[in-house]
Amino acid sequence: MSLTHPFTLALAAILGLSLLGVPVGHAMIAGSVLYLYLKGMDMGLAAEQLLNGTYNSFLLLAIPLFILAATIMSTGSVLDRLLRFCNAIVGRFPGGLAQVNVLQSIVFASMSGSALADAAGSGKLMQEMMTRDGKYTKSFAAALTAVSAVIGPILPPSIPLVLYALVSGSSIGYLFIAGVLPGLLMGAVQMGLIYVQSRRLNFPVEAPVPARELPRITREALPALMLPVILLGCLYSGITTPTEAAGLAAAYALLVSAVLYRSVGWHDLYASLVTSARVSISIGMLIAGAMVFNYVITSENIPATISAVLKGMELSPLVFLLLVNVLLLVLGAFLEGSTIILVILPVLLPTATALGVDPVHFGVVAVLNIMIGLVTPPYGLLLFMMSKIAEVSLGELVRQVMPFLGVMIGALALVTLWPDFVLFLPRLAGYTG
């Protein structure tokens, strides 16, 4: 493909605009319009693809509703109640607050579809708690906050898995339940490493919560803890569609925060609505840009070409997945996860299907890679974010992250090599893929 080919120029325009600070979604729309113009095609096709991709998908409505539920649940006293619950469960073990940091990421998975949002919200609070009174160094606390934040988007309800369902046509319900065991595995390997490090480095242990206090703490946190249970129960019982379940989650979050906990007022609700709208619009523009650019990619027959080339190499499904792991880990260090799911995965999916890779397994492996990429040196987005929040150097942060990165890649290898581990729960729920 020559340097003056319309597709090459479109890619150059997208890259150039992105480097100039233009949002990626807008850059993809601009690059796609340039491609249509240079090819002599009707530029109105860009608007047509945008409208068809966004307004014809009822599933997309689930994204702003999940975001609204997460925003409401992150307001008021919900965070405090859940953190007290996490501390009561694991604070007494070696590496007390460090263990709490990981557990809160698992618990808050139902309230944050974004690793970046998790790190900036409850993760930032944990960063302050861990460094108070010099219990942990800033660099270790920041590194742990970064790596634990990647757990949330793997567990349901997961916005990355909603986006994957959009581009793959897979069942969002089966994808959600398929992410449960890998997400818990990721948390388990992190907590295991903390236990080992705490024995060697004498991490502090929190004062045990008296047994008589556990029922009260659990009772106070139970309404918030029930959100993912209710969500998955409605999905797998067939009572609701994924989008209706997202609406139910938002309504339940409002009920718990405003009525049961009485921690959300009209001002807080307004702020939650505004925040959710801003995040939803940002994701929506990215989806719109990806829809238009995917039309360009399809017009160039790129997915079919790549699929033919890879099939000609006679790769086994395992080798293909290993290559995908490497590619997505590298891309995840440079690009926002939604961009990879919406632009890169549609190119790889035809090959995965042709090789007999299960689409649900492929989706979970892809999301795991993308999340780990966020803490992969030297350009992982979470590393830069936590370096700024914690005011520590990137070098110090990377040194603390490396052991966690090693155990997470080990968990990724297990998930990649053992599809039945991912598909066990979906098959119990009736999945036949």
Angle subtended by helix axes 302-312 and 345-354, to nearest 10: 40
Other C-beta atoms closer than 10 Å to the C-beta of 199 total 11
CA nearest neighbour of 342 among 183, 172, 159: 159
pLDDT for 386 equals 78
Q: Convert the pLDDT of each residue in 74-86 to its tens digit.
A: 665 677 777 777 7
SS3 label, residue 56: coil
Q: Convert the pLDDT of each residue in 105-135 to its tens digit.
A: 787 765 655 666 666 566 666 767 777 766 7
pLDDT for 114 equals 62
| pTM of the model as a whole | 0.78
| Residue 59 backbone phi and psi in degrees, to 5 | -60, -35
Pick out the chain residues at pLDDT < 70.
Answer: 1-3, 45, 49-60, 74-77, 91, 109-125, 127, 133-134, 204, 236, 303, 307, 310-312, 379
Q: Quick check: bond before 157 cis, omega within 30?
A: yes
What would the two tokens of residue 243 be? Answer: 């989008």
pLDDT for 57 equals 62
